[in-house]
Structure 1
Amino acid sequence: MNIRTRRHLAFTAIAAFTGFSCLLAGSPAAAQDYPTKPIKFLVGFTPGGSADLVSRFVAQKMSERLGQPVVVEQRMGATGIIAQDAVAKAAPDGYTMVLLTGGHPTSAAIKKTLPYHPVNDFGMISTIIEYPMAIGVRPDSPIKSFPDLLARAKAEPGKLSMSSAGTGSLHHLLGEWIKIESGTEMIHVPFKGAAPAYTELLGGRIDVFIETMTFLNVNFKNGQVRPLAVSSSHRLKDFPNVPTISETLPGVDPTSWLGLVVSPGTPPAIVSRLNRELRAVLAEPATAERFAALGGIPAPSTPDEMRTRVQREIDRWTRVVKLRNIERQD
């Protein structure tokens, strides 16, 4: 055997070993060892908000179950898109994950382009928490009920004003969906978050407040805001006298949510492990108690169920954007 032949065989053996090692890294055997180092949990929203609070609670619980630190890392900007893009392009090894919110499908509907595919570029793990949207008015408002709101809006088109957390937000598109189904017109007033909209509501400068129950839970209980309706499919245990939107407008029952995803192409065994551990966390009584304080309930799902939900909501909000002729954003 000459030198050239020996070199060829050596290179072939190295290439074969390298290929085998790569296959082994993504194999069930390798996934069984997961995780062997800390996991980054990216959150694209400000500290102290509901997304941040839920993320830190879940990270702590997941750390205990996985035997490795799950480290929350704030990577803010572009309503979560920067953090999501980082995970969409990260190594598919399960060591970088990110929080998606109910605003993820609305971004897909309102944005002209995104740096990733909103469904295919994520490995879905599970939804985490679900909380309804709610509609409220000032305690001294002449609007006494949700049907009363729609009757007044129909009688005087364009007179009543309705807040949102920004153009293209879930709050905004819910308001637009209500207009579609009720045949009414109300003025959309966007704000940068719940706090400034709440201030304007109490000051009498806007008529109707749309927010998540995370914010309105306490305000309803202390009488600072009068509830008109919630967007859940059934009435809430803590507010049995508050009707659902769908009691007046059948089918209008969108809820906000948070969910966990990893990079696309992450081995199925790792996805399965994360789903299993997260669902175990969500089944704990302490989790239900913590989430109730935030106006929500645990919302475990399979990866396929989460994927189906995201796609369904993208389709729904895209329809609303088109029907209401809302200008898509760059």
Structure 2
Amino acid sequence: MSADQNSLGATTISRRAWLHSAAVALLGVRGVTPARADTYPSHPVRWVVPYTAGGATDVLSRLICQRLSERLGQPFIVENKPGAGSNIGTQAVINSPSDGYTLLLTSTANAINASFDPSLPYDFAKSVMPVAGVARIPLVLVVNNDLPVRNVAEFIAYARTHPGQLSIASSGIGTSLHLSGELFKAMAGIQFVHVPYRGSAPGLTDVMSGQIQGMFDNVTSSFELVRSAKLRALGVTTRERSETMPEVPSIGDTLTGFETSSFYGVGAPRGTAKEIIDLLNREIVQALVDPVIRQRLGELGAIPMTGNADQFGAMLAAETERWRRVVEISGQKKE
């Protein structure tokens, strides 16, 4: 064999080896997602709750995580990352690898912040993939027992005859509780003073004491106070009555078109494998139809949300648009 032939053969082998290694690399890149999906989960999964521990978000998350841990054979660990109206926890998930091992408890705050916070450093819709809905929780307008009103119509009439004398608490500026009150104020054509608190508990305390006259709050944290007659409930914010407070009418019965609620779901960083998304969705939906979990959700005043990932994504888009309109109507924005 001549030197030229030997050189040609070496070149051919070299090219074949290069093509082979390139093909393996390409297949590896393309195949890494299905391979992960086939073995998922192989180690613990972080479930980031962008709120402090102890509230309804914690209870909901731990219920689902316990079920996922049992079903999938790896711990699903709740990790609280509060701050900046859920933005700190949300951004931590967005910046995590898209491998299914970091999940986000999504909420109404994500839908609100898209329009309420002009300085938001991310586009939630483009950065987070919807996985599954978990629950929707109605809000309720509660007032101090000494306020001489028994229903929504009387509350509106009282506000009109006592301009500037009503104070309404919320769990913070830009929350669903705050903006529900602002929407109510705009639609009813009344005025009241908004008093933000760091969470709903101190606000409810001041409503009970009479320092504040009323508050929009999740039924989860207020229904026991209503049941024990420490507060008076005037109306729920959902179109239908709440099973937790069946005797309380919908605000929309008096103020036509008024409707808000809080919702919770699960998201993952953009790029997470569809197989992983589908697996998590199936398991979460199965958890939500379990009688024990449904009963616990009912005790919290929560309405389970089932459906596939695409349906949850459509709901997220609809809620983002709903709250965009509320922000626009109320004229409220983060400064």
> For residues 311 and 158 of structure 1, what CA distance do their matches in structure 2 show?
36
TM-score, L = length of structure 2:
0.92
> For residues 212 and 36 of structure 2, what CA distance do their matches in structure 1 show?
57
Equivalences for residues 111-260 of structure 1 within 5 A: 111-260=117-266
Letter in 1 for 2:264: L
Q: Who is 1:14 aligned against?
A: 21
Letter in 2 for 1:17: V
> For residues 246 and 219 of structure 2, what CA distance do their matches in structure 1 show?
14
CA offset at residue 294 of structure 1? 1.7
SS at match of 1:275: helix
Q: Does the CA-based 8 Å contact 1:101-1:259 persist in structure 2?
A: yes
Indicate the percent of aligned positions where both proteins have the same amino acid: 31
Q: Who is 1:318 aligned against?
A: 324
CA offset at residue 122 of structure 1? 0.9
> For residues 94 and 259 of structure 2, what CA distance do their matches in structure 1 show?
29
CA deviation vs aligned residue, 1:18-59 (integer Å, no higher than 9, x gap): 1101211223x6523322222111112111111112111111
> For residues 202 and 90 of structure 2, what CA distance do their matches in structure 1 show?
27
Q: 1:246 to 1:217 in 2, by over 3 A?
A: same
Moved over 3 A (4+): 3-9
> For residues 326 and 214 of structure 1, what CA distance do their matches in structure 2 show?
26
Question: As a proportion of its length, which structure holds more helix?
Answer: 2
Specify which of 29, 32, 35 is matched with residue 25 of structure 1: 32
SS at match of 1:26: helix
CA offset at residue 5 of structure 1? 4.9
> For residues 323 and 297 of structure 1, what CA distance do their matches in structure 2 show?
27
Of the two, which has the highest radius of gyration? 2
SS at match of 1:91: coil
Confirm or deny that 1:96 pairs with 2:105: no
Q: Does the CA-based 8 Å contact 1:133-1:256 persist in structure 2?
A: yes
Q: Who is 1:37 aligned against?
A: 43
> For residues 62 and 227 of structure 2, what CA distance do their matches in structure 1 show?
26
After alignment, is 121-130 or 275-284 more displaced?
121-130
Q: Who is 2:271 aligned against?
A: 265
Q: Does the CA-based 8 Å contact 1:138-1:225 persist in structure 2?
A: yes
Q: Does the CA-based 8 Å contact 2:116-2:174 persist in structure 1?
A: yes
Q: 1:238 to 1:214 in 2, by over 3 A?
A: closer
> For residues 296 and 284 of structure 2, what CA distance do their matches in structure 1 show?
15
Q: Does the CA-based 8 Å contact 2:244-2:298 persist in structure 1?
A: no
SS at match of 1:119: helix
CA deviation vs aligned residue, 1:217-263 (integer Å, no higher than 9, x gap): 11111111111001122122343321111111222221112111111
CA offset at residue 88 of structure 1? 1.6
Specify which of 59, 65, 69 is matched with residue 63 of structure 1: 69
Q: 1:313 to 1:157 in 2, by over 3 A?
A: farther
> For residues 9 and 82 of structure 1, what CA distance do their matches in structure 2 show?
50
> For residues 327 and 295 of structure 1, what CA distance do their matches in structure 2 show?
29
> For residues 191 and 82 of structure 2, what CA distance do their matches in structure 1 show?
34
CA deviation vs aligned residue, 1:193-230 (integer Å, no higher than 9, x gap): 11221222122121112110111111111111111001
Confirm or deny that 1:106 pairs with 2:112: yes
> For residues 76 and 191 of structure 1, what CA distance do their matches in structure 2 show?
15
Letter in 2 for 1:18: A
Q: Does the CA-based 8 Å contact 1:62-1:278 persist in structure 2?
A: yes
> For residues 174 and 327 of structure 1, what CA distance do their matches in structure 2 show?
14
> For residues 80 and 327 of structure 2, what CA distance do their matches in structure 1 show?
30
CA offset at residue 100 of structure 1? 1.0
CA offset at residue 115 of structure 1? 2.5
TM-score, L = length of structure 1:
0.93
> For residues 293 and 239 of structure 1, what CA distance do their matches in structure 2 show?
11
> For residues 80 and 328 of structure 2, what CA distance do their matches in structure 1 show?
33
> For residues 176 and 170 of structure 2, what CA distance do their matches in structure 1 show?
8
Q: Does the CA-based 8 Å contact 1:287-1:298 persist in structure 2?
A: no
Q: Does the CA-based 8 Å contact 1:37-1:68 persist in structure 2?
A: yes
After alignment, is 269-278 or 158-167 more displaced?
158-167
CA deviation vs aligned residue, 1:277-315 (integer Å, no higher than 9, x gap): 000000001111111222212222322222222222222
